[in-house]
């Protein structure tokens, strides 16, 4: 009862607080070893997203000054960029998915420039380049091989405050946050859902309250992060575990749309709630990466098994989504990618 009361108090307090830019991520665990990760990108302005193909063998820098961490990509990936200076979402050829979402409570350790540094813009890409599974990523990240270095959001005077979610082809999940300057890793197959504020530990407490009420009785319906967390947690396990991949993908899209924010919504008393700009669905068994813009009529997808990710002949390629992701594509789009120079991660 005490935990329920605490959850009710926390949930209630969020009703009178503002939230930052919002997103939702969840992992569907289906039949026949199907694992599918859905994600929405909610932002108040055009986030300048394009899709990119990165092959193995790319030499990377943490873009944090002279002592930046350096690495060579072990795995090829398809990613969705932010402003073409960061990786916000993506899947690598092993089926590992990484997503960064806003978390206003994030507080990163001070960086003195002496140890290895990694720009927050390349946080997700570092994981996609280096690991095949969540366990591999967690084992390395727990050793804190670098210091995360944040920077201002392009065109704004505030620092990027993000947390990172990971899922792999086995259905394993992890959430990585920096709270009070300390890295906190939540690692469990049970951690299927992540949204924004409050911190993940408190989201779990809130969700336990709604689980005891039961989703068929009542679910919170606002656009706030805690409410979207409760709805995604219920629906991701309420949708059928279909043997048909097409039906499974349709179910995942239906849930990510359910927790999206209507485009163009205005909330005068909640100025920081943002419209959903786009959604991704990553089929980690079939290695398909689906993309849906809020401003175009079609879903399209890339098939990672058909890209050349080899170090010898693989090329960096880009799919230009246009302003506000309004360029229209449909179906399989591998052939629509064109060779391009890789973008540089925003850093020091």
Catalytic sites, residue numbers: 23
**Residue-level length of the chain:** 348
Structure tokens at 141: 């990240």
Reduced to 3 states (helix: H, G, I; strand: E, B; else coil), residue 125 is helix
**Cα 107 from chain centroid?**
19
Exposure b/e, 235-258, CB count within 10 A at least 16 = b = bbeebeebeebeebbebbbebbeb
Longest dimension (CA), the chain: 61
Cα–Cα distances (Å) from 69 to 72, 104, 117, 147, in that order, read: 11, 25, 6, 9
Where is 138: in which H helix or E strand? helix 134-141
CB 284 within 8 A of CB 97: yes
Rg over CA atoms, the chain: 19
Q: Give me the DSSP letters along 150-168.
A: --BPTTSSSB--EEEEEE-
**Cα 7 from chain centroid?**
25
Q: Cα(first)–Cα(last) distance of the chain, in Å? A: 49
List CB contacts of 304: < 8 A, sequence separation 6 or more: 76, 78, 91, 92, 93, 287, 288, 289
What is the CB-side half-sphere exposure of residue 122 using CA atoms within 13 A? 28
Structure tokens at 49: 């997203």
Residue 121 phi, psi dihedral angles, 5° rounding:
-65, -25
């Amino acid at each position: 009862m005490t935990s329920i009361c605490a959850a009710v108090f926390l949930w209630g307090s969020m009703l009178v607080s503002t939230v930052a830019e919002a997103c939702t991520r969840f992992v569907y665990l289906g039949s026949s070893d199907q694992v599918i990760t859905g994600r929405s990108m909610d932002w108040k302005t055009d986030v300048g997203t394009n899709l990119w193909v990165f092959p193995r063998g790319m030499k990377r820098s943490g873009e944090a000054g002279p002592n930046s961490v350096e690495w060579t990509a072990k795995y090829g990936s398809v990613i969705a960029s932010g402003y073409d200076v960061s990786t916000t979402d993506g899947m690598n050829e092993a089926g590992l998915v990484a997503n960064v979402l806003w978390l206003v409570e994030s507080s990163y350790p001070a960086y003195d420039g002496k140890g290895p540094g990694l720009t927050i813009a390349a946080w997700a890409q570092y994981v996609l380049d280096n690991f095949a599974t969540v366990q591999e990523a967690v084992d390395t990240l727990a050793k804190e091989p670098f210091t995360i270095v944040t920077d201002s959001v392009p065109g704004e005077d505030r620092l990027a405050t993000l947390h990172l979610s990971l899922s792999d082809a086995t259905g394993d999940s992890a959430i990585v946050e920096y709270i009070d300057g300390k890295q906190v890793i939540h690692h469990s197959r049970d951690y299927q859902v992540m949204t924004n504020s409050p911190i993940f530990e408190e989201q779990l407490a809130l969700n336990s309250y709604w689980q005891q009420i039961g989703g068929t009785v009542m679910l919170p319906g606002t656009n706030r992060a805690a409410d979207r967390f409760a709805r995604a947690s219920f629906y991701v396990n309420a949708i059928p575990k279909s043997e048909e991949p097409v039906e499974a993908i349709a179910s995942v899209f239906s849930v990510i749309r359910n927790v999206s924010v209507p485009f163009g919504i205005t909330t005068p008393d909640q100025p920081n709630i943002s419209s959903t700009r786009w959604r991704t669905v990553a089929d980690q068994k079939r290695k398909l990466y689906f993309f849906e813009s809020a401003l175009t009529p079609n879903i399209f997808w890339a098939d990672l098994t058909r890209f050349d990710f080899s170090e010898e002949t693989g090329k960096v390629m880009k799919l230009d989504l246009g302003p506000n992701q309004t360029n229209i594509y449909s179906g399989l789009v591998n052939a629509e990618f064109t060779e391009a120079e890789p973008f540089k991660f925003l850093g020091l």
